[in-house]
Amino acid sequence: MYILNHIAIIVSSEEGIEFYKKLGFEELSREIRNNENHDELIYLSNGLTTLEIYKDPTHPKRLTNPEAYGLRHLCFQVENIGDEFNEDKKGKFRFIYDPDGLPIEIREVKPHMPVEGEK
């Protein structure tokens, strides 16, 4: 069985790091990979999920139309999504975007609800 260890994300600036901190992630470590282009590797965690964030302003922007192969979006669950949401057969959700345009799904999952894929 494979268990998710971390999610790697590329951000263009410190604004991207702060975005994930506002979602409840705390900085575990930070290392400079290349002084010339301010390339840093930052690990954030919320106790359940670890983000491996590469802060590097030299990467190309994210393709959004058409979408490229690979990661489409991340989804974080909360117990109460608030007043602004959409609804589908699985319940309440909404999308927000990090400062570099990566879609982030926020999905309401009550404590007694099974997580997607559970039996």
Q: What is the pLDDT of residues 46-69, one digit of tens each?
A: 999 999 999 998 888 877 777 777
- Where are the chain's structural domains? 1-57, 71-119
pLDDT band at 118 (very low <50, low <70, confident <90, very high): low
Question: Token pair 């282009």 is at which residue?
Answer: 37
Are the CB atoms for 55 and 49 separated by under 8 Å? no
- 75 - beta bridge partners? 105
**Contact in structure between 32 and 13 (CB atoms under 8 Å):** no
Ranked by mean pLDDT, the top range of 17-21, 33-37, 76-80 is: 17-21
| pLDDT band at residue 115 using 50, 70 and 90 as cut-offs | low
pTM here? Answer: 0.80
For the chain, what is the mean pLDDT?
Answer: 88
1-57 maps to which CATH number? 3.10.180.10
